[in-house]
Chains A and B, each alone.
Chain A
Amino acid sequence: MNSNGNPILALIWTFGLMSLFAVGGANSAIPEMNRIAVDVRHWMSDKEFADLFAISQLSPGPNVLIVTLIGYSVAGIAGALVATVAMCGPTAALAYCVSRLLRRSQHSRWPAIIQAALVPLSIGLMAASALILARSSDQSVLAALMTLAAAVVAFATRLNPFWMLLAGGIFGLAGLI
């Protein structure tokens, strides 16, 4: 808890703990990451946080890359590695143990019940993520329209999401956002 001095320890503590509470994956934990990185530890501004989210979406790979980028901006390459392993390690160890247990006691009905109970919570967390990111990204009417357009296209079509990111970048570069 008392890890304010050393940024590496702060990253291990922050993401190691978050790992076990990230119900529904890394995107559900974005409000908590934002609260800690911006409000609690003052590692970055709201705007920088939104930029890091955009960069993580521009890279291929799992959503957990946002954690890598927060670690990188706090403490360089070492920070990136430590934050990523702290976010993945505890829950990966848990997944390993539970999968071995379940293979011994086949077909319990508990996984289905727990999953059904967690689904609404993880959607609520992701909705909160979207709200928090929209607040810092959508500062103008045109920016909000861009978000709305990307949401509608991604909801209604099977277009590769990368094209929406590219369109956003082009509109941004053209100075429309």
Chain B
Amino acid sequence: MLPDSPPAATPAPDFASSAPPPLPQPGLAELFIAFAKISLAGFGGVLIWARRGIVEQRRWMTADEFNETYALCHFLPGPNIVNLSVVFGSRFRGIPGGVAAFAGLVGPPMLIAIMLAAVYAHYGEIDALRRTLAGVACAAVGLLIAVVFKMITPLIEKRDGAGLVMLAAVFVAIGFLRLPLQIVLLVAIPVSLAVTIFQRRPKA
């Protein structure tokens, strides 16, 4: 579920055996089922499974189209993969298609998460469950830290000093000073945009 997690070590679920042959125009039910399968497989990062399901198994998009769509959804705010499902579904079937893909992506995992939360609400005080969940929480934080370091690596390799300064400033403002997100971003986004445009200006 973490973004940019490495590809899962477990074998891919066999989409080909259960799905109809690749169609250029998936219907609403197909969109729902495709995204439900992608999402439920997505322990190790939904993105990898989305690429596998959409590009490799179903051939609804080429790899380049997928990358462009993902890049768009990544620079927009909000959950990236949710944006991707809506943009993708609506490309084929308009707004109903976007809703069908979104419902497939979010609906079934929501049911699972709510069932787990209901168990937690009823039995959360049981010591064994508390201890287990505390251990899972520690590991989950570790996974998040790994994602952060994987994402920082390219900035260090590019020697992107300005980017690293922006990163550190946001980290301190939000992590230590606990400033509200909107205020931090209303300052950080214009500054970061200005720096990026300056760095990329055409060399005279």
A residues near B (Cβ < 8 Å) are: 17-27, 29, 31-32, 35, 39, 50-65, 68-69, 72-73, 77, 80, 84, 87-88, 90-92, 94-96, 98-99, 102, 111-121, 123-134, 137-138, 143-144, 146-155, 157-165, 167-173, 175-177
Closest to A134 in B: B141
What is the minimal beta-carbon distance from A16 to any residue of chain B, in angstroms? 11
What is the minimal beta-carbon distance from A151 to any residue of chain B, in angstroms? 4
Query: What A residues does B167 contact at CB under 8 A?
Result: 120-121, 123-124, 127
Interface contact A62-B166, CB-CB below 8 Å: no
Closest to B190 in A: A117
A-B contact pairs, 17 of them (CB 8 A): A31-B181, A35-B180, A51-B134, A59-B113, A61-B106, A88-B106, A96-B90, A114-B193, A133-B144, A146-B138, A146-B142, A152-B146, A154-B5, A154-B6, A158-B9, A161-B143, A175-B131
Interface contact B140-A165, CB-CB below 8 Å: yes
**Pick from B110, B131, B140, B192: contact of A53, CB under 8 Å:** B140
**Pick from B128, B170, B196, B197: contact of A128, CB under 8 Å:** B170
Known A-B contacts A61-B46, A92-B86; A177 and B143 likewise in contact (beta carbons under 8 Å): no
Question: Which residues between 174 and 204 of chain B lie within 8 Å of chain A, taking CB atoms?
Answer: 174-176, 178, 180-182, 185, 188-189, 192-193, 195-197, 200
Known A-B contacts A123-B148, A168-B140; A18 and B113 likewise in contact (beta carbons under 8 Å): no
What is the minimal beta-carbon distance from A70 to any residue of chain B, in angstroms? 10
Question: Which residues between 27 and 83 of chain B lie within 8 Å of chain A, taking CB atoms?
Answer: 39-46, 69, 71-83
Query: What A residues does B148 contact at CB under 8 A?
Result: 123, 126-127, 130
